[in-house]
Every structure is written in structure tokens, then in C-alpha cells.
């Protein structure tokens, strides 16, 4: 009597189509396990749209959620998720930024003050430099020779010839331009041994020497300071060119006003100018004194006119060139 063997339970067969769906899921699951073991932050999200837990290949969820491309494309980082503070984060960034902004504002204020000072000095350097040059050109033996030999220059009523004037006038001019002491001019004597210049004349020429030397050196210092600051602020070329133009045109206006005042009343203009720098009674002399015979009123009028012409021409030239240079820079920027 034969015994019948119990029937073995049949295992569910997996068709080829089901294996096709199963392959990507198994690959994605193995990739997730490998990423989790390697410690990567995105290991828990290896596949976009994957469900948690094992996915049966024959279930509806497996057919819907598993796609051939889900295991190959990792899920992108959601920008809406808050980022954890990393190594480059700063806990007190607002305070640091506020402190830095304050320092930047203070530095900007200092640079602004320096820029304003530079522009003012550049504007002042235009008339001062031209005055220094023109005064120095007038205070030369060449200008004396032109004056003493030009037609219409008044002759000395007491007998000085042009050659006598050249000798004594050059000595007086040299005295106010060098650092020689007072006795230098007082020792100039006639053939009979009498001094040509009285003590009052020597004292006034000494005052003229100090005023002229201080004025010339002050102008030189301002011009040098403007040049140095201009080089340091050379990036502000537009502002510096504007300052040159402004200084030039202001010099023209001031020169025109002074010329009108001198033309309306030369004696009042001459007396007012001397009153600014010299004490009363120290600069008035007789027509017979040597200073008046060497440097009459016509000499000072010609000297003032020459200084004004040189200063005005130089100011106009500087202003026009500065404006053209600035316009050219602006035109190149527009292009």
C-alpha cells in the first residue's frame, strides 16, 4: 500500500515583467544601504518618490512608486528646509557688520575731508602760483631795463640817468630778494661817500623784503601742498580739474575787480595796499628821496599791470585747459 506524498506548496513564480519592476527597486534599496553605511547625508533619500520599507514587486505600490529612473536621480535639496549652522557661519554677524560699517563711515568721512581740503588747495594754488611767477619776473633787472629805456617813462628831475637808475635800482631789487641784512643797502654810497639811501628808506625796504619773502614762500608751500595732495588724490581727477577751472575763473574775476579799483583811483588803491602791510608814516617819502627817483609812480603802475596781465592770461589758460580735459574725460565715459 503506497503512501501518497503530501503536495509541496508552490512558490509564487516571478515573471519577467515583475523582475523588470523589481530590479530598480532592489538596486535603489542596495544603493540606500551603501550610502547609509558610508555616512553620506543623503543616504535616506537615495531615490525620488521611493516609499519607506520593503516594496513588493507584485504590489500596486511597487508598480506605482518604482520607476527605472528613480534610483539614478537623487532627490534635490529642498531650499525651503532650514540650513543648519555650518563651519562658516558667524554667531555675531550683525554686530560685526555694524562695527565694520561704522569704521567704513568714519574712514569715508576722513577721505571726504581730505578730498575737500585738496580741492580748496588746488583752487588756491592757481592764483598763488601765477602771482609768485609774475612777481618774480617783474622783480628782475630785465624789467628795470625795459622800464628805464621805454618811451614815455618819466625822467628823474634831479639828474639820474638811465644807467644810474639801473645800478641803484638793481641793488634795491637784489636787496628785497636776498637775505642780506640792512647794512647791505645802507652801505651803497655816492662817489663823495654819502649814502644813497636814508635810514628810513632802508627800514622800509627791509619791511618790503620780509613781506615779499613771506608771501612768496607761503605761495610756494601752498602750491607744493596742492601738488602732493593732488597726487595722493589723483583718482579724483574730475574734482581736481574742476578746482583748477574754478580757481582760474575766480582769479580772473578778482583781477578784474582790482584793475577797476586801480583805474578809478590809483593813489587811493596804492595807499590802501600799503596800509595793509606797513605802518602809517613808514612808506611815504619825498620826491627828492632815492626810492622815489628810482621807482616813481609810473613804475608801480607798469609793474602792477604786468603782474595782472601775466596772472589773468595764466588763469584763463589754466581754466580753459582744465575744462577741456574734464569734458574729454566725460565724453570718453559716455562712449
Q: Are 266 and 158 in contact (CB under 8 A)?
A: no
Q: How far is CA 121 from the centre of its chain?
A: 11
With a CB cutoff of 8 Å and minimum separation 6, the contacts of 325 are 241
The DSSP code sequence of 167-233 is HHHHHHHHHHHS---THHHHT-B-TTS-BSS-HHHHHHHHHHHHHHHHHHHHHHHHHHHHHHHHHHT
DSSP string, 10-62: PPPP--HHHHHHHHHHHHHHHHHHHHHHHT-TTGGG-STTPPSS---TTSHHH
User: What pLDDT score was predicted for residue 218?
Assistant: 94
Residue 307, H or E segment:
helix 297-334
Distance CA 44, CA 175 (A): 99
pTM tops 0.85, yes or no:
no
pLDDT score, position 85: 46
The pLDDT tens digits along the chain (335 residues) read: 444 455 555 555 444 444 444 444 444 444 444 444 444 444 444 444 444 444 444 444 444 444 444 444 445 544 444 444 444 444 444 444 455 455 544 444 445 888 899 999 999 999 999 999 999 999 999 999 999 999 999 999 999 999 999 999 999 999 998 888 878 888 888 888 889 999 999 999 999 999 999 999 999 999 999 999 999 988 888 999 999 999 999 999 999 999 999 999 999 999 999 999 998 889 999 999 999 999 999 999 999 999 999 999 999 999 999 999 988 877 777 76
- Polymer length of the chain: 335
* Distance set, CA 26 to CA 16, 47, 53, 58, 62 (Å): 15, 11, 12, 13, 11
C-alpha to C-alpha distance for 147 and 295, rounded to whole angstroms: 10
pLDDT score for 5: 52
3-state secondary structure of 287: coil
pLDDT tens digit sequence for 186-231:
888 888 888 999 999 999 999 999 999 999 999 999 999 999 999 9
Task: Please tell me the distance from the alpha carbon of residue 57 to that of residue 76, in angstroms, as a whole number.
Answer: 26
| pLDDT at residue 115, as a whole number | 86
**Residue-level pLDDT at 61:** 46
Report the run of H or E that residue 92 belongs to, with start and end: none
Element (H, E) at 113: helix 93-138
Contacts of residue 304, Cβ cutoff 8 Å, sequence gap at least 6: 262
Chain-centroid distance of CA 81 in Å reads 49
Residue with cell 562658516: 88
Instruction: Say what the pLDDT of residue 114 is.
Output: 86
Mark residue 296 as left, alpha or beta (left: phi above 0; alpha: psi -120 to 50; beta: remaining).
beta
Whole-number pLDDT of residue 102: 54
Distances (CA, A) of 316 to 180, 220, 226, 242: 37, 21, 19, 13
Query: How many C-beta neighbours within 10 Å does residue 310 have?
Result: 17
C-alpha 317/C-alpha 132 separation (Å) is: 17
pLDDT confidence of residue 330? 72
Amino acid at each position: 500500500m503506497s503512501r501518497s506524498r503530501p503536495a509541496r506548496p508552490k512558490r509564487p513564480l516571478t515573471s519577467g515583467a515583475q523582475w523588470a519592476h523589481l530590479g530598480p527597486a532592489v538596486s535603489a534599496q542596495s544603493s540606500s544601504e551603501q550610502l547609509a553605511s558610508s555616512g553620506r547625508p543623503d543616504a535616506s533619500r537615495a531615490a525620488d518618490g521611493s516609499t519607506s520599507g520593503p516594496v513588493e514587486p507584485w504590489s500596486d505600490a511597487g508598480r506605482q512608486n518604482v520607476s527605472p529612473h528613480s534610483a539614478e536621480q537623487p532627490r534635490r535639496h529642498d531650499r525651503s528646509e532650514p540650513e543648519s549652522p555650518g563651519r562658516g557661519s558667524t554667531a555675531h554677524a550683525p554686530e560685526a557688520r555694524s562695527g565694520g560699517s561704522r569704521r567704513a563711515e568714519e574712514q569715508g568721512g576722513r577721505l571726504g575731508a581730505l578730498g575737500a581740503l585738496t580741492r580748496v588747495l588746488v583752487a588756491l594754488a592757481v592764483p598763488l602760483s601765477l602771482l609768485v611767477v609774475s612777481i618774480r619776473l617783474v622783480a628782475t633787472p630785465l624789467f628795470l631795463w625795459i622800464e628805464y629805456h621805454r618811451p614815455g617813462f618819466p625822467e628823474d628831475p634831479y639828474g639820474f640817468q638811465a644807467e644810474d637808475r639801473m645800478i641803484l635800482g638793481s641793488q634795491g631789487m637784489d636787496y628785497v630778494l636776498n637775505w642780506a641784512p640792512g647794512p647791505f643797502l645802507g652801505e651803497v654810497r655816492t662817489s663823495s661817500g654819502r649814502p644813497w639811501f636814508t635810514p628810513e628808506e632802508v627800514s622800509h625796504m627791509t619791511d618790503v623784503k620780509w613781506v615779499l619773502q613771506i608771501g612768496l614762500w607761503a605761495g610756494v608751500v601752498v602750491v607744493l601742498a596742492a601738488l602732493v595732495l593732488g597726487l595722493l588724490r589723483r583718482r579724483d581727477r574730475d574734482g581736481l580739474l574742476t578746482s583748477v577751472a574754478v580757481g582760474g575763473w575766480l582769479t580772473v574775476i578778482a583781477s578784474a575787480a582790482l584793475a577797476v579799483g586801480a583805474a578809478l583811483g590809483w593813489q587811493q588803491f596804492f595807499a590802501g595796499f600799503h596800509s595793509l602791510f606797513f605802518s602809517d608814516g613808514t612808506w611815504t617819502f619825498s620826491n627828492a628821496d632815492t626810492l622815489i627817483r628810482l621807482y616813481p609812480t609810473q613804475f608801480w603802475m607798469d609793474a602792477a599791470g604786468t603782474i595782472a596781465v601775466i596772472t589773468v592770461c595764466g588763469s584763463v589758460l589754466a581754466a580753459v585747459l582744465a575744462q577741456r580735459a574734464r569734458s574729454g574725460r566725460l565724453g570718453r565715459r559716455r562712449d
